[in-house]
Amino acid sequence: MNAIVNVILAVQMLTALAMIGLILIQHGKGADMGAAFGSGSSGSLFGASGSANFLSRTTAVLATVFFVATLALAYFGNQRPASTGSVLEAPAAAVPASAAAPAVDASSAVPSAVPASGAAQIPTK
């Protein structure tokens, strides 16, 4: 399952990079106005209007692949195994009485060196 997620993630990243490149290559809405006054070239690799159709259709296909990959990653990311072993997902167990109150030495009223929780392990001055 991890290999499938890695493949889908690679497809999504490559699609995103290809979309960025294609979007940067395309002409804006004002590019036709410049061609009308002679600054643009009418003869291009794809013909007069063929490049706009080719680039826009390719961008649409890449956007579709990107969204499908995103949905697939969301689907696989939402699936969890029955038991992950996470402390946060486990039900709260009853705290034993010895851990609830720190042990006190009989000779002094100072708690023992073993802390009861992680907060007690923070060094103090």
Strands (E), 3-54: none
Q: What is the pLDDT along the chain (125 residues), one digit of tens a residue?
A: 789 999 999 999 999 999 999 999 988 776 666 666 665 555 455 555 556 688 889 999 999 999 999 999 999 988 866 665 666 665 555 455 555 555 555 565 555 555 556 666 677 77
What is 49-88 written as a DSSP string?
A: THHHHHHHHHHHHHHHHHHHHHHHHHHHHH---S----TT
Q: pTM of the full predicted structure? A: 0.52
- Tell me the residue type at 76: F
CB contact at 8 A, 16 and 73: no
Provide long-range contacts, Cβ within 8 A and 24+ apart, for 19-25: 19/59, 19/62, 19/63, 19/66, 22/55, 22/58, 22/59, 22/62, 23/59, 25/55
